[in-house]
Amino acid sequence: MKDLKLCIMGFGAVGQGLAKVVSLKRESIKQDYGVNLKIVSVADSSTSAICEDGLDEDKLINIKEETGKVGNYPEYGSNISGLDVLDACDFDVLMEATPTNIKDAEPARSLTLKAFDMGKDVVTSNKGHLALDFKELMDSAKKNNVLFKFEASVGGTMPIINLAQETLPANDIKSIVGILNGTTNYILSRMTSEGTSYENTLKESQQLGIAETDPTQDVMGIDAACKTVILANALLGIPATYDDVKVKGISEITSEAISLAGKEGYLIKLIAEISPNNLEVSPRLVRKGSVYDINGTLNMANLKTDLSGDVTVMGIGAGSVETAAAMLTDLIHVIREKY
C-alpha cells in the first residue's frame, strides 16, 4: 500500500473542507487505487502542524475552529510558515488552498513554483497565480515533469476543465459563455424573485455567509474575470492575463431594471464570455427558460465545439466541501496517472 503524503497550504474554508473529504474518502481511495492518503503538513497564514506519520483530520479542524491556529495542534504544532513548510516535511503533492490574490498572486505563486522545483505535483483551488502567471506556471510544471491540476479554481464543483480535457478532447472549443460566480448569481436571482434592491440583497447574502464580508472580488466581476483568464488559457489556448479582460460588475443593477427585463421575457445575469475575439465579464440580458436561467449559487458554462455542438455543464459554484471535492477529483487524476 503506497502512502501518498499531502501538504495542505491554506486552512480556511477550502483547506478544512479538503481535510474533511480526505477523511471521508480515504477508505474508498485505498480500495480503488491502492493508495493511502496521509496529510503530513498543514499551514495557515502564520502557523503549521507537521508530522511525517500523518495528522488527524478531525483534530486539525477542531483546533483551527477553537483556537484559530493549526499551530496549536498537540505535539506537532509549530510556528513554521510560508515556503519553509515545504522544506519541513517530505510530501508528494501540494494541495494549495491559500486565498486568491489578484495583485501579485502571492503566496500561491511562490509556493507552486517551489513545489515544482522540488519535483512535486500541485493541486490548487487558487485563481490569482493562474490569472496573472498562467504561462510561467505551465512552463515550470512541464520543465520539472510534474502535474498541475486546477479544476477547483473555476466554478467550484462544476467540472468544466476536466470535462473539456478528458471527455471532449476530439473537439476544438470555439467559445465558452457562462455564469462563473455563485455569489452574484444568488444576488441577481434574489433580486429577481423578491424585487429587492441590490444593497439589501447584498446584506442578506452576507448574513447568510454566501457573500464575503468584503464582497468586492465577486460583485465587481473580478472573480469571474480570473476564471475567464484561466479558461481562455487552458481550453482555448488564448495567452491572456487578467488585464486582457473587460470587466463590469453588478453593483449598478437596479430592481427596476430587473423588473423591466422580466416583462420582456429576460433575466439579467453576470455573464462571462471567452472567445478569440472577446474576453469579457458583464451583466447581460438572457432569455427566461434558456440554459442561463439558473438560480442560487449555481454556476454554468456553455461550450461551443466544432464536432459536438453546444455542451452545457452546471454545478455548485462555491462552498467548502464542494470546492474541496473538485480538488480531490484532481488528486485522483494525479493518482491514476502516477501511482
Grid cell listed for 252: 449598478
- Residue 126, classed as helix, strand or coil, is coil
Q: Which residues contact 110 (CB under 8 A, 6 or more apart)?
A: 83
Residue 66: burial class (beta carbons within 10 Å; 0-12, 13-18, 19+): exposed
Is 246 in the active site?
no
For residues 315 and 154, give the distance between their C-alpha atoms in angstroms, rounded to a whole number: 11
77-78, strands of its sheet edge to edge: 77-78, 48-50, 35-43, 2-9, 93-96, 121-124, 148-149
Task: Count CB atoms within 10 A of the CB of residue 233.
Answer: 20
Q: Which residues contact 330 (CB under 8 A, 6 or more apart)?
A: 123, 149, 150, 151, 152, 162
Are 271 and 249 a contacting pair, CB within 8 Å? no
For residues 201 and 129, give the distance between their C-alpha atoms in angstroms, rounded to a whole number: 31
Residue 221: burial class (beta carbons within 10 Å; 0-12, 13-18, 19+): buried
| Catalytic residue (choose from 64, 114, 227, 269) | 227
- Residue 174, classed as helix, strand or coil, is strand
The sign of the torsion formed by the CA atoms of 16, 316, 248, 305 equals positive
For residues 90 and 115, give the distance between their C-alpha atoms in angstroms, rounded to a whole number: 11
Looking at the annotation, which residues are catalytic?
A: 227
